């Protein structure tokens, strides 16, 4: 009987372990501009989705998440800015004792944003020390209304040239301005001082009438005026010229909200 030797199968070569490849994420997309405008706008809206409210006079100088897109080239800046201006609400602050000129970022928001809210800060009964007199506070009220009108003129100027039917929306919040009647005119100083304060308050009413005239000149904007619905606001009805304010509210189609 003949036996034949069988060869054993060769042992497999040891497998060389290779480290797994890690995907490298790209931080750039060179073909972004080639995307359809609708897709680019979706990207802008996603980037800017957290910026529903913006205070350009306070935070615009500080880089915020998503706003870096505005610091790229002109095309991306203009496209992203158009989305931001159409979706965000810009709050414009009227500050006490602040006569500084409008900052460029504040001017830009006033002129181009579709939704703008004007409000005062640091001028309310809780903010003012009790030492403030009726005369000095009434005088400051007039100054703040002039500040407001300067910004309203800028806003109305931004509406010039808009397409027919294009709408803007503005809220003018003056509820914390017209509380000054809360400060009673004292007898100290005599009749002359009382007459002076009455004239200052009359001048403040004239400043507010000037603001309303400015607002009336913008046919593209729906205006909402927020006023104080309390006792202090009622006291202004006795100031000369306030009847014209009430007439303008009704005749010119302003929406007035008393809170």
Q: Hey, how many other C-beta atoms are within 10 angstroms of the C-beta on 135? A: 18
Confidence (pLDDT) at 200? 84
The per-residue pLDDT for range 37-87, each reduced to its tens digit, is 999 889 888 888 777 788 876 544 555 566 778 888 889 889 988 988 888
Closest CA to 95 of 127, 65, 69: 127
Strand arrangement, sheet containing 89-95: 53-54, 89-95, 115-121, 168-173, 221-227, 255-258
Stretches in the chain below the pLDDT threshold 50: 59-60, 126-127, 131
Q: Hey, how many other C-beta atoms are within 10 angstroms of the C-beta on 17? A: 6
In 16-110, the DSSP E strands lie at 53-54, 89-95
Q: Are 116 and 170 in contact (CB under 8 A)?
A: yes
Tally of CA atoms within 13 A in the half-sphere of 53 that contains its CB: 5
The mean predicted confidence, pLDDT, of the chain is: 80
The per-residue pLDDT for range 231-246, each reduced to its tens digit, is 766 778 888 899 999 9
């Amino acid at each position: 009987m003949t036996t034949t030797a069988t060869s054993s199968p060769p042992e497999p070569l040891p497998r060389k372990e290779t480290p797994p490849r890690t995907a490298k994420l790209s931080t750039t997309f060179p073909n972004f501009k080639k995307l359809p405008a609708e897709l680019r706008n979706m990207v802008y809206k996603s980037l800017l989705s957290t910026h529903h409210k913006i205070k350009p006079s306070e935070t615009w100088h500080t880089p915020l998440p998503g706003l870096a897109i505005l610091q790229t080239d002109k095309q991306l800046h203009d496209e992203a800015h158009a989305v931001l201006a159409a979706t965000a609400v810009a709050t414009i602050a009227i500050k006490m004792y602040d006569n500084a000129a409008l900052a460029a970022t504040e001017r830009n928001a006033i002129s181009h944003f579709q939704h703008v809210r004007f409000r005062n800060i640091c001028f309310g009964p809780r903010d003012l020390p009790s030492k403030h007199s009726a005369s000095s506070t009434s005088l400051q009220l007039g100054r703040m209304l002039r500040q407001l009108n300067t910004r309203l003129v800028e806003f109305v100027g931004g509406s010039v040239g808009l397409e027919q039917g294009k709408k803007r929306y503005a809220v003018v919040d003056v509820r914390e301005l017209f509380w000054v009647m809360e400060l009673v005119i004292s007898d100290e100083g005599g009749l002359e001082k009382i007459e002076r304060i009455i004239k200052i308050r009359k001048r403040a009413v004239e400043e507010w009438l000037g603001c309303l005239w400015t607002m009336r000149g913008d046919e593209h904007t729906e205006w909402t005026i927020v006023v104080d619905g309390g006792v202090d606001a009622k006291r202004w009805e006795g100031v000369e010229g306030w009847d014209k304010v009430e007439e303008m509210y009704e005749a010119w189609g302003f929406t007035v909200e008393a809170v």
